[in-house]
Amino acid sequence: MGGYQILLNYRGDLKRFPKISMQDVLENRIPADLMRDRIVLVGATAPSLNDLFQTPLSGTLFGVTELTPGVIVHANLTSQILSAALEDRPMLRTWTKPLNWVWIFFWSGCSATLGSMWLRWRWTAAGIVLAGICITTTSYLALLTGWWIPVFTPLLAVVGSAVVSIGYVLWENLKLSYQQLEEYAQTLEQKVEERTAQLAQANQEIMALNEKLKEENLRMSAELEVTKQLQQMVLPKPSELEAIEGLDIAGFMEPADEVGGDYYDVLHQDGRVKIGIGDVTGHGLESGVLMLMAQTAVRTLQESHQTDPVQFLDILNRTLYGNLQRLDSYKNMTLALIDYADGTLSLSGQHEEMIVVRADGTIECVDTVDLGFPIGLEEEIADFVADHQVELNVGDVVVLYTDGITEAEDLNNEQYGLERLCEAIRDNCQQSAAQIRQAVIDDVRLHIGEQKVFDDITLVVLKQK
């Protein structure tokens, strides 16, 4: 600007200002107060006089709809001057040219920086949109206070700088990739030879490791086989079970892996019979070792004539707990012990429910949750131990089992369950203990079918003679 122009702040089109025709003036049809305290402009609005101009009020998105007469342009300017003089409304002001360039270069720099960082295109697009919103909002707020700030040029700078900077980064990356490809092409043969030598050396190391693994597997297999044989050796012999008066006893134990974590034993001493069944968490070598420790500790306490069930389980727990702490093992086991004498069972310890099937087919399930605590989990368990008495009559059957039976699943992941186990026992309760055991095992295998066995299976059947 030369220094004397002002920016016109348009107030409205022809409809914005009160008007009266010249004919009404000549015929004196003017309202009395229409022109009081007003500036009156005399001009022509007829299109035939060609005094029409394009203004911001006459433009739309798709072209010009109506041109503005010159007298209306003068009316807008006059209204703007009056508002500035009488209402202190600010005139439209503009920045100096250096400030405009700073405004444009600022947004251009922000956009170029964003583009040169080569973020994901979504973030770059979001940054451009955010910059556009900031430019537009700032310019609008400034316009409300009388400042005219450029909008289109900064927006063009934002988009252009982003495109140019991103293109530059892509071009530099492309050149770098091309240089790397040239270097790779020049050194490819050498690298192939080096890689081949490395692969040959790695192959030799793998072969050596395979040999060590074979040796280690053989050693582990031998150790597992020894442990498995030890587990089988400590199980009660048929002759021991046949020598027990008053009870017909049959047992079965089959580990899921080479070494199982299930335990059962039958000890006979001085006319008293102690029957134990337990389940160590998990299976494998560590579980098998805990099972052997439990068997040894139970036999030791039995030989020392320890008859009180609370003291028996407390001493047994403290012994195994100390060994587990020394081994730094987190294993533990559920264990139930039965003392039998003259047709009476005394049950203590926490394990699965004990099933009692009377000679007439009545089924009783004895819950052991309140009779003990897992062995090896805490150092002191005496306060949790209790016992439960069960009187047996001739023909009554008692079954002890581990969860490997009730939780055995078929191919449809359906468990065998306690109810089916009870039915299998009741259907065969008139047979011998060995026949009942075999019938239950056959029914479990029938349920499992071709499904893999995931847990050890242990079953002990007692029948009152």
Q: How far apart are CA 231 and CA 289, in angstroms?
A: 9
Q: What is the pTM of this model?
A: 0.53
Domain boundary, last residue among 62, 91, 120: 91
Whether residues 229 and 243 share a domain: the answer is no
Whether residues 288 and 341 share a domain: the answer is yes
Q: Is residue 5, in this structure, part of any structural domain at all?
A: no
Whether residues 137 and 108 share a domain: the answer is yes
Collect the ranges in the chain with pLDDT lower than 50: none
Domain boundary, last residue among 185, 209, 234: 234
Whether residues 272 and 204 share a domain: the answer is no
Whether residues 211 and 344 share a domain: the answer is no
Whether residues 268 and 374 share a domain: the answer is yes
Any idea what the CATH number is for the domain that residue 268 is in? 3.60.40.10
| Contact by Cβ (8 Å): 387, 307 | no
What's the pLDDT at 120? 60
Whether residues 391 and 301 share a domain: the answer is yes
Q: Is residue 136, in this structure, part of any structural domain at all?
A: yes
What's the pLDDT at 119? 54
User: In 235-339, where does DSSP find H-type helix?
Assistant: 238-242, 285-303, 309-327
What's the pLDDT at 217? 72
What's the pLDDT at 284? 67
What's the pLDDT at 231? 61
Q: Is residue 130, in this structure, part of any structural domain at all?
A: yes
| Domain of residue 125, residue span | 94-234
How many domains, in total, are found in the chain? 3
Residues 379-416: b if buried by 16+ CB within 10 A, e if exposed: eebeebbebbebebeeebbbbbbbbbbbebbeeeeeeb
Q: Is residue 267, in this structure, part of any structural domain at all?
A: yes
Whether residues 192 and 243 share a domain: the answer is no
Whether residues 186 and 254 share a domain: the answer is no
Whether residues 121 and 139 share a domain: the answer is yes
Q: How far apart are CA 401 and CA 443, in angstroms?
A: 14
What's the pLDDT at 3? 64
Whether residues 195 and 207 share a domain: the answer is yes
Domain boundary, last residue among 30, 63, 91: 91
Q: How far apart are CA 95 and CA 73, in angstroms?
A: 25
